[in-house]
Amino acid sequence: MRSQSSKGKFSASAITAMALFLIIGIRFVGRAESKALHNGIPAKAGDTTQEKIARALSAGPDDISESARIVDKDAQGKTVILREGSNGFTCMPGNPNVVGDPPMCADAASMQWAADFSAHRPKPTNSVPGVTYMLAGATQRSDSDPYDTTSPPLSVGPHWMIMWPFDPNTTGLPTTHKATGAYIMWAGSAYAHLHIMGRP
């Protein structure tokens, strides 16, 4: 039993590490909300570690972000842990100079979803719904095309998301952007998810 438990912990850690590597390089709600690559663009001159931490913390509710792990990536693209956490959420400062790279806080299921998305897998493999917070707002390219990288950027206010394949036909939810309430983003694709405007 102890051996199986150790293997399970190792497997979970490996998935988390892989997801961190991928999500920092390609932030999952930017790539079109989507391919949020840093592309070597500095966030801003004099962006200190404390400023990055503060920006990352702004993405989630206080009771989530205060105990979350905070990660970023350096100029070489390597993952940098800015602060360890204890609640299973990971927060990232994003890059305000890159469309689709907002500050965010995501749980483990969301990070698996992101890893699958960035690897262009046919569908996400998270077995439970993931939760992602973007309470500092975001920029994105499209509400309908997951891989749109060319449309003019759209500004989106504070929101949070449930990373699970919601179907507009069974839920009755709209599929176009709303300033308030909820809608299904990327409807009709394997990466459709629920987009909820405002704070939880």
- Please list, in sequence order, all residues whose beta carbon lies within 8 angstroms of the beta carbon of residue 16, skipping any fewer than 6 positions away: 108, 111
Mean pLDDT, the chain, as a whole number? 82
**For residues 111 and 75, is the Cβ–Cβ distance under 8 A?**
no
- CA quadruple 173, 178, 184, 189: dihedral sign: positive
**Ranges 1-15, 81-95, 134-148, 153-167: which has the least confidence:** 1-15
Closest of 179, 27, 177 to residue 104, by C-alpha: 27
Interval 95-129: pLDDT, tens: 988 898 999 999 999 999 999 998 999 999 999 99
pLDDT of residue 164: 96
What do you get for the CA distance between the two ends of the chain, in Å? 39
Q: What's the confidence (pLDDT) of residue 178?
A: 86
Q: Is the dihedral of CA 48, 32, 60, 157 positive or negative?
A: positive
Q: What's the pLDDT tens digit per position in 12-54?
A: 444 444 444 344 444 444 444 433 334 444 455 458 999 999 9
Please provide residue 90's backbone torsions phi and psi, each rounded to the nearest 5 degrees: -125, 130
Q: What are phi and psi of 182, to 5 degrees?
A: -125, 155
Nearest-Å Rg of the Cα atoms of the chain is 16
pLDDT tens for residues 64-99? 999 999 999 888 878 899 999 999 999 999 998 889
CA 81 to chain centre: 16
**Would you state the pLDDT for residue 171?**
93
More confident residue, 37 or 57: 57
- Compute the average pLDDT of residues 186-193: 94
Taking the whole predicted model, whether its pTM rises above 0.85 is answered as no
